[in-house]
């Protein structure tokens, strides 16, 4: 059940409308990292969720994102409003989608005029995987809001954007804690186990020295438990690599026979 209250979650005040900035704001209205995409992603994940506690989390945040959509849509509309009154042919030529097709209002397009699409949504039906997608989605949205703030000179607009940006971090924290509270090994995804040995091999596929002096780097991502496989070894074919004496098991398609290979 949804119920609309005729009041914004956060009051929006625009001192000096800027249609160009209004167009930028559409990125968070109908864009890939925008509020509608977040609202739909979390709400549909919630509908699919069989974990009552985390379903409640998904529906809470999904519903809040609809309120954020209203805030950013109102903010964009206030910045675009002058276009509704002006008969400026140059402005119409620059952005006919807003001026001519939209009459100076908002619609489900991003800042480049691309229509909103369900392809933006990341929904797998695996709760831990979906929570990881949500954490990343909130991080991307935070960065977009930060960039919008940097391009904004209007104090009231910046105030509303600061609110929206802050809530992205709040949601990141909530999704992260929900994921951690599941008690799963962070590298345990799904039910089928990865191939032993192969899962701990790091392929050094970018080699040589770059035009700006870039060289192979070493860090926790390719040291410790990882075994680095250099390119000459990769040329042999991964299935032919020596794996510390361990055997790799492969299942032939269409049969139940297992073929064991050793290098």
Cα separation, 201 vs 205, whole angstroms: 12
Q: Within this chain, do residues 64 and 159 fall inside the same structural domain, yes or no?
A: yes
What is the SS3 string spanning 47-80? Answer: HHCCCHHHHHHHHHHHHHHHHHHHHHHHHHHHHH
The pLDDT tens digits of the residues spanning 92-115 come to 555 666 665 556 678 888 988 899
Q: What Å distances lie between residue 137 and 22, 29, 132, CA to CA? A: 22, 14, 9
Is 185 among the domain residues? no
Q: Within this chain, do residues 58 and 96 fall inside the same structural domain, yes or no?
A: yes
Is 189 among the domain residues? no
The pLDDT tens digits of the residues spanning 125-157 come to 999 999 999 999 999 999 999 999 999 999 999
Overall pTM > 0.75: yes
Q: Within this chain, do residues 54 and 148 fall inside the same structural domain, yes or no?
A: yes
Q: Which two tokens stand for residue 223?
A: 């040291």
Are 131 and 179 spatial neighbours (Cβ–Cβ below 8 Å)? yes
Tell me the residue range of the domain where 149 lies: 19-180
Q: Within this chain, do residues 150 and 64 fall inside the same structural domain, yes or no?
A: yes
Q: Within this chain, do residues 174 and 86 fall inside the same structural domain, yes or no?
A: yes
Is 113 among the domain residues? yes
CB under 8 Å, gap of 24 or more: what pairs does 149-155 form? 151/21, 151/24, 152/21, 153/16, 153/18, 154/14, 154/15, 154/16, 154/18, 154/21, 155/15
Q: Within this chain, do residues 168 and 205 fall inside the same structural domain, yes or no?
A: no
Q: Within this chain, do residues 159 and 214 fall inside the same structural domain, yes or no?
A: no
Q: Within this chain, do residues 176 and 211 fall inside the same structural domain, yes or no?
A: no
DSSP secondary structure string for all residues of 168-206: HHHHHHHHHHHHHTTT--TT--SSSPPPTTGGGEEE--S
Here the CATH number for the domain that contains residue 151 is 1.20.1260.10
Question: Would you place residue 236 in the very low, low, confident or very high pLDDT band (cuts 50, 70, 90)?
Answer: confident
Structural domain count, the chain: 2
Coil, helix or strand for 227? strand
Block residue for tokens 């929006």: 12
The pLDDT tens digits of the residues spanning 158-199 come to 999 999 999 999 999 999 999 999 999 999 999 999 999 999
| Those residues with Cβ within 8 angstroms of residue 11's Cβ, 6 or more apart along the chain or in another chain | 160
Q: Within this chain, do residues 105 and 157 fall inside the same structural domain, yes or no?
A: yes
């Amino acid at each position: 059940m949804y119920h609309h209250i005729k009041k914004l979650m956060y009051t929006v005040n625009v001192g000096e409308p800027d249609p160009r900035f209004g167009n930028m704001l559409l990125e968070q209205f109908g864009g890939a990292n925008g509020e509608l995409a977040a609202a739909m992603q979390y709400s549909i994940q919630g509908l699919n969720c069989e974990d009552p506690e985390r379903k409640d989390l998904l529906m809470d945040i999904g519903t809040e994102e609809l309120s954020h959509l209203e805030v950013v849509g109102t903010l964009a509309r206030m910045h675009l409003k002058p276009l509704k009154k002006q008969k400026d042919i140059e402005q119409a030529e620059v952005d006919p989608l807003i001026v001519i097709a939209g009459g100076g209002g908002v619609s489900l397009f991003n800042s480049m005029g691309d229509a909103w699409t369900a392809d933006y949504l990341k929904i797998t039906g695996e709760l831990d995987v979906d929570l990881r997608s949500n954490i990343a989605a909130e991080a991307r949205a935070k960065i977009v809001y930060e960039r919008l703030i940097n391009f904004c000179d209007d104090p009231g607009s910046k105030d509303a954007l600061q609110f929206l940006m802050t809530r992205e971090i709040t949601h990141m924290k909530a999704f992260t804690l929900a994921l951690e509270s599941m008690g799963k090994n962070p590298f345990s995804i799904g039910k089928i186990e990865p191939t032993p040995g192969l899962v701990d091999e790091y392929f050094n596929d970018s080699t040589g020295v770059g035009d700006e002096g870039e060289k192979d780097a070493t860090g926790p991502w390719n040291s410790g438990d990882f075994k680095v496989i250099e390119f000459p070894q990769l040329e042999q074919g991964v299935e032919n690599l020596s794996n510390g004496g361990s055997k790799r098991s492969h299942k032939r398609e269409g049969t139940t026979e297992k073929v064991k290979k050793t290098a």
